Amino acid sequence: MEEKASNRSIFYSIENAIKEYRKMAQKRINAVVKDITIDQAMLLFQLSKKPRFTKSEMANFVYKDHASITRIIRLMEKAGYITTVQDKEDKRKAYLVITEFGSEVLQKIAPIINENRSIGLKGLSKEQVEQTQVVLDLIANNSQNIKKP
């Protein structure tokens, strides 16, 4: 029996929307590049916009913990999508950099990523998208700024 939308929590709807979007996006990306995950594709996409992310900056950006981002980076380096470059002045810092192969892959999937976003937002007005962003940011801020019981 299907539960009425009015009886579901907004958090269920958010989770369901994300899950369905990620399934659709992964399927469409894999139709072009077989062995890349949506998280890896998003990391490449973000590296193309800001070419010198540190591992911790990227972890914060893609909402992954240290262990998860380390695993993703290791797999991407093994696949040849990215490389890690040591900072010349501060040896404690290393930056993620797209390789030539990673750039080739990105050229194939970037249009798909943009199409996926359009598909996900189909039927929504600019105002609805902006209002949704405000609501989701408020929920995130409320959740981050709560005091322990």
Domain ranges of the chain: 8-144
Q: Locate 62 and state its tokens.
A: 């893609």
Q: Per-residue confidence at 55, pLDDT binned at 50, 70, 90?
A: confident
Q: What is the pLDDT of residue 19?
A: 97
* pTM as predicted: 0.81
CA distance 14 to 17: 5
69 contacts 149 by C-beta, under 8 angstroms: no
Domain 8-144, what architecture?
A: Orthogonal Bundle (1.10)
- Per-residue pLDDT at 5: 57
Q: For the chain, percent helix, then strand, then coil, each to nearest 5?
A: 65, 10, 25
pLDDT at 81: 96
pLDDT digits (tens, 9 = 90+) for 81-125: 999 998 888 888 888 999 999 999 999 999 999 999 999 999 999
Residue 121: phi, psi to the nearest 5?
Answer: -100, 5
3 state DSSP class of 21: helix
The token pair that represents 83 in the structure block: 């490389």
